[in-house]
């Protein structure tokens, strides 16, 4: 095992472990500011560090500090402390583990060796995901049961019933997808989506399985216990459901687990249906062959995007009332200078690449980085859909939830399997 092998293993594991964690901060921020904007209010925007509010991201720091320093209460009536403490860990770790099999770039070939860009390069792919994500609900049931609280038990039961009902349409939607891709390996699925359908449509899952994608997304919402299927914690009926007895960091683990699960299931939806890391019409080999042109395009596009972005910052990052020497304007100026410095740095790096390193392994690394960025952008957009849905739709009634799962989604998924297999059999 060479030093490069070790480095790649470390890099992939670091990506698999830290990207979901850092996205929790981004998602909580997106959720709160997004909720604000959806409801015509501002969201948390006051918390600052020496006057820098980072568009409200500093609020996350404050929340984290609060959760760490709160008293960690274990109520006296709890008999099974071990399970009580195990439950939030289970929720969090299963959510984290799911991300291990999701590819974030195409297979990277350096020095004649192939590196599969997953945290854990396994062939079982989607099966691993199904196994682990089903395990996540054990944490919720365990939390509800060991809380020894009627609301907790009700929340746990609801979560259990819901996940059981929605894993079936989810699995059935996957069956027809697997019939098309002919593999369970997520990297191979992503490579399959780099082709073109009829020569001009990217062969994404969403174009091959328009019904399947709807079923899968709905089931994924239910799996992650997000609105409109968040009956497990329905505040208005059972207060907070399974995490009613939890406080401080144990509650924070549930919270983190929920957002990691949301990120991971967005990543999976993107991987299965929205082309994973593929940039539409630009397959990996095309990108590698024209790496120089791609880099030059990048060098031209980044300043344009930055120009509009800094303009947006200048327009919006100011006080909307009379304030002498507005500190927010000064803050915005600092952001703009920092952004332009980052752009200049990027340009210097890219020029360095063009002069010294063009051709060979550097091409492949640049393409892989581009694909990582594409994957993360797509995943962020899918997470935005989660947030968008949460702040638009009210919660379903419990019988409606079960009815949709069993009477609507399951027959639709079966129909989808028949149609798909008929098409596959007749057109080969």
Partner 1 sequence: MGAKVRVVERKGRTFLEHLYLVEVAKGMFVTLGHFFRNLMDNSRLYVRHYPEVQPEIPSRWRGRHRLTKHDDGTVKCVACFMCQTNCPSNCIMIEAGERHDDKSEKLPVRFDIDLLECIYCGYCVEACPMDAIRMDTGIFSVTSDNRGSMVIGLEELLDTPGAFEEQEYQKGAR
Per CB under 8 A, residues contacting partner 1 are 34, 36-42, 214, 312, 315-316, 319-321, 323, 388-389, 391-393, 404
Nearer to partner 1, 28 or 87 (CB): 28
Nearer to partner 1, 58 or 217 (CB): 217
Minimum distance, C-beta of residue 276 to partner 1, in the bound complex (Å): 25
> 260, 20 in Cβ contact below 8 A?
yes
Minimum distance, C-beta of residue 307 to partner 1, in the bound complex (Å): 16
Nearer to partner 1, 62 or 372 (CB): 62
Nearer to partner 1, 36 or 280 (CB): 36
Minimum distance, C-beta of residue 45 to partner 1, in the bound complex (Å): 9
Nearer to partner 1, 36 or 134 (CB): 36
Nearer to partner 1, 112 or 324 (CB): 324
Side-chain-side CA neighbours of residue 222 (13 Å):
28
Burial class (CB in 10 A: 0-12, 13-18, 19+), 7: exposed
Nearer to partner 1, 219 or 404 (CB): 404
Minimum distance, C-beta of residue 320 to partner 1, in the bound complex (Å): 5
Minimum distance, C-beta of residue 228 to partner 1, in the bound complex (Å): 9
Cβ neighbours, 10 Å, residue 6: 10
Minimum distance, C-beta of residue 55 to partner 1, in the bound complex (Å): 10
Minimum distance, C-beta of residue 411 to partner 1, in the bound complex (Å): 13
Nearer to partner 1, 195 or 319 (CB): 319
Nearer to partner 1, 40 or 71 (CB): 40
108-110 and 113-115 as β-strands: parallel, antiparallel, unpaired? antiparallel
Name which of 368, 406, 401, 427 is nearest 106 in CA terms: 368
Minimum distance, C-beta of residue 278 to partner 1, in the bound complex (Å): 26
Cβ neighbours, 10 Å, residue 56: 19
Minimum distance, C-beta of residue 396 to partner 1, in the bound complex (Å): 9
């Amino acid at each position: 095992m060479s030093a490069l092998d070790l480095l790649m293993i470390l890099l992939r594991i670091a990506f698999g472990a830290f990207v979901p964690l850092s996205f929790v901060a981004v998602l909580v921020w997106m959720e709160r500011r997004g909720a604000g904007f959806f409801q015509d209010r501002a969201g948390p925007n006051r918390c600052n560090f020496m006057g820098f509010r980072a568009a409200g991201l500093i609020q996350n720091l404050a929340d984290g500090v609060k959760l760490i320093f709160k008293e960690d209460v274990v109520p006296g009536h709890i008999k099974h402390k071990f399970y009580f403490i195990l439950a939030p860990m289970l929720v969090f770790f299963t959510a984290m583990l799911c991300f291990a099999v999701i590819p974030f770039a195409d297979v990277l070939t350096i020095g004649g060796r192939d590196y599969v860009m997953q945290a854990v390069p396994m062939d079982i792919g989607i099966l691993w995901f199904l196994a682990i994500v089903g395990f996540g609900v054990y944490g919720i049931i365990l939390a509800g049961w060991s809380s020894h609280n009627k609301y907790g038990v009700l929340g746990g039961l609801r979560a259990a019933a819901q996940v059981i009902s929605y894993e079936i349409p989810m699995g059935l939607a996957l069956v027809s997808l697997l019939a098309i891709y002919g593999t369970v390996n997520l990297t191979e699925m992503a490579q399959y989506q780099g082709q073109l359908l009829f020569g001009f449509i990217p062969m994404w899952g969403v174009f091959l399985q328009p019904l399947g994608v709807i079923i899968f997304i709905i089931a994924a919402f239910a799996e992650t216990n997000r609105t409109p299927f968040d009956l497990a914690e329905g505040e208005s009926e059972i207060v907070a459901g399974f995490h009613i007895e939890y406080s401080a960091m144990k509650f924070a683990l549930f919270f983190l687990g929920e957002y990691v699960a949301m990120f991971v299931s967005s990543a999976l939806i993107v991987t299965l249906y929205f082309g994973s890391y593929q940039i539409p019409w630009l397959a990996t080999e095309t990108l590698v062959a024209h790496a120089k042109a791609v880099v030059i395009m990048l060098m031209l596009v980044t300043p344009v995007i930055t120009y509009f972005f800094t303009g947006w910052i200048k327009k919006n990052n100011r006080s909307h009332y009379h304030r002498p020497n507005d500190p927010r304007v000064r803050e915005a100026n600092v952001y703009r200078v920092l952004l332009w410095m980052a752009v200049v740095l990027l340009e210097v790096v890219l020029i360095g690449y063009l002069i010294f390193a063009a051709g060979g392994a550097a091409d492949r690394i640049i393409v892989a980085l581009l694909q990582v960025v594409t994957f993360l952008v797509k995943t962020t957009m899918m997470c935005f859909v989660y947030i968008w849905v949460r702040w638009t739709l009210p919660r379903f009634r419990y019988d409606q939830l079960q009815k949709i799962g069993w009477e609507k989604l399951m027959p639709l998924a079966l129909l989808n399997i028949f149609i798909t297999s008929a098409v596959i059999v007749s057109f080969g």
